[in-house]
Amino acid sequence: MRMIAARGFAAVLLLSGLSVAGAYGAGDQLSGVVADENHLALQGVRVTIRSAGGEVTVRTDSQGRFTADVEGELISLKIAGEIIPAEEVRDRLSDLRIVVRKADISIHDSIVIRASALIPGIDRRDDAIYQNALFSRDDQLFSTLDAGINAGQHEGGGKSVEVRRFGFNLDHGGVSGGLKVLVDNVQQNHNSQGHGQGYLGQLKSLSPELVEDVDILDGPFSPEYGDFSGLGVVHIRQKERLPDHVTLRMQGGSFGFRRAFLAYSPRQDESDSLLAWESSTTDGPFLNPLDYTRHNFTGNYTRRFGEERALGLRLNAGTNRFNSSGQIPLDEVAAGRLDRFGLLDSQNGGRSRSATVGLYYRNGFQDDASFKVDGFVSRSLLDLFANFTFFLNDLERGDGFQQHDSRLQEGANTQYLKPFRLLGRQSALTVGGNVHDNQINVGLYPSVGRIPQGVTTRADVRVSNVAGYVHEAIEASRSVQLGFGLRYDYFRFDVRDRVQPATSGTAPIGRLQPKANLVLRPYASLPIKLFLNYGRGISSQDARGVIQRP
């Protein structure tokens, strides 16, 4: 068994090949590892091996490994990526070196549609940071990325994270341009949410051990993404299988913190699957124990039909409940009359439930073109209990209130990518579309002891978004890459106010968003690149505000 290590320029796509001398008998295997100059394994690379016994093509796995049965004299070995056509280069027989050349036009080889590095390049994080960290809060999902994203909690962990990026306060992810967050191509930002626009609370059903990798985009420069992408995109993809049959992880810490993760991932020849369960709880340092309890369940089944086609089904569900000490007056703490971990209203807190079912399909063609489509249905319930003004309006019962959000979401995404040559230069044309529909019941109620005492606002809201995009990328030369894109989003906001019917209504809105990208590599011998990007982006507003203040 021979081991071949690829080395060369940092790359996602491989362009070269080599010839290797040797004779193999029946049943012999040739194996190798394909990696870039940073020693990062490259998944999904096509390896074609020619021998006296015939030709066989295999793909590298998630660790960059490949194995193939070889019989007779080995004639050549050729490596190829999905966008740039392979060039077979014959090195000296004794030089077991695979030269790897970078192409800035690339696409991820997964059944889940993901951002392609269609210029601008994508900042990618692999799963190493999640395997080696002890997680106790969901905001750590962002802080470990080191991508200029500051996320934190002000309710002890139960609510959505507060997000800040590049000096902008995005609240819960949906204002000041927004930060679009997706998990397996399912948008996590909730439009017209009961607590705040772009609310990211559903991220709490994500288990860090299941993160495969994360792509990070800075700004609205990719036509693939629309709403909430003004300050960038974070696209999280989960694993389809785990390296071990059974995985058990247990954590414990101060303030009653306990966490357990259990997963089962069987080995099957033509499919990948896993079942995972996560549970965590903590009381925090508060005088009123946080009693934060979270349970998550994730399942995945992927069926492969040869090397180029795959169909997958994914399920994710989670529950979350917590108490909160809420907001307290600073002057009372400074005067020593109230502990910094104290409280004024013991009824603050909340609960949430969510479930998402997704279906994914991918088909690759002989000319290296690919077609991908996915769809999902999601159901979520959220109730938050808070008191910001204490006893300002009601001296007897207090000013506590309940924020309610109940929603059903459906969505679909499709993408077709076609590599070709334009004026003798390698190019890639990408065409795609998105559909996202929300049916929401949202309300605000005065409450005592978490029991509603009336109605302040209540409305049935429907927000529909249909979009299409096109992007052309061309490698003009070894030092210049160009990209041009166009995206169009159509929104329909429909509000039925149950308290003030006069504020009901419907509003259709459409927006065109041009994109342009230029990447320069001034010195071939130095790993320096200059990026110039232009993009118009959008960030939708709460549907009730759109209707009342068009």
pLDDT tens string 517-538: 998 888 877 878 888 999 998 8
Mean pLDDT, the chain, as a whole number? Answer: 81
Which of 3.30.700, 1.10.287, 2.60.40, 1.10.238 would CATH assign to domain 6-100?
Answer: 2.60.40
pTM listed for this prediction: 0.79
Question: What kind of fold does domain 309-317+334-548 have according to CATH?
Answer: Maltoporin; Chain A (2.40.170)
Span 35-43, mean pLDDT? 63
Check whether 265 has a pLDDT greater than 70.
Answer: yes
Span 177-198, mean pLDDT? 91
**Could you give the percent of the chain with pLDDT greater than 70?**
81
3-state secondary structure 349-388: EEEEEEEEEEEEEEEECCCCCEEEEEEEEEEEEEEEEECC
Check whether 35 has a pLDDT greater than 50.
Answer: yes
Q: How much is the pLDDT for 280?
A: 93
What is the Cα 346 distance to its own chain's centre?
36
Q: Please choose, from the candidates 39, 213, 14, 59, the residue with its C-alpha nearest in 3D space to the C-alpha of residue 122.
A: 213
Q: What residues pair up with 360 in beta bridges, in sequence order?
A: 312, 374
Which residue ranges make up each domain of the chain? 6-100, 309-317+334-548
Q: Is 100 in contact with 11 (CB distance < 8 Å)?
A: yes
Please report the beta strands in 220-331, taking only residues with DSSP state E, as ranges in sequence order. Answer: 233-238, 246-252, 258-264, 271-282, 292-305, 309-323
Report the distance separating Cα 21 and Cα 1, nearest Å.
13
Domain 309-317+334-548 in the same topology as domain 6-100? no
Report the distance separating Cα 448 and Cα 445, nearest Å.
10
Q: Which segments of 128-221 does DSSP mark as H helices, in order?
A: 128-131, 140-143
Torsion 322-326-332-333 (CA) sign? positive
**Could you give the percent of the chain with pLDDT greater than 90?**
47
**SS3 of 110, please?**
coil
Helix-, strand-, coil-residue percentages of the chain, each rounded to 5: 5, 50, 45
Report the distance separating Cα 202 and Cα 199, nearest Å.
8
**SS3 of 331, please?**
helix
Check whether 402 has a pLDDT greater than 60.
Answer: yes
Please report the beta strands in 239-288, taking only residues with DSSP state E, as ranges in sequence order. Answer: 246-252, 258-264, 271-282
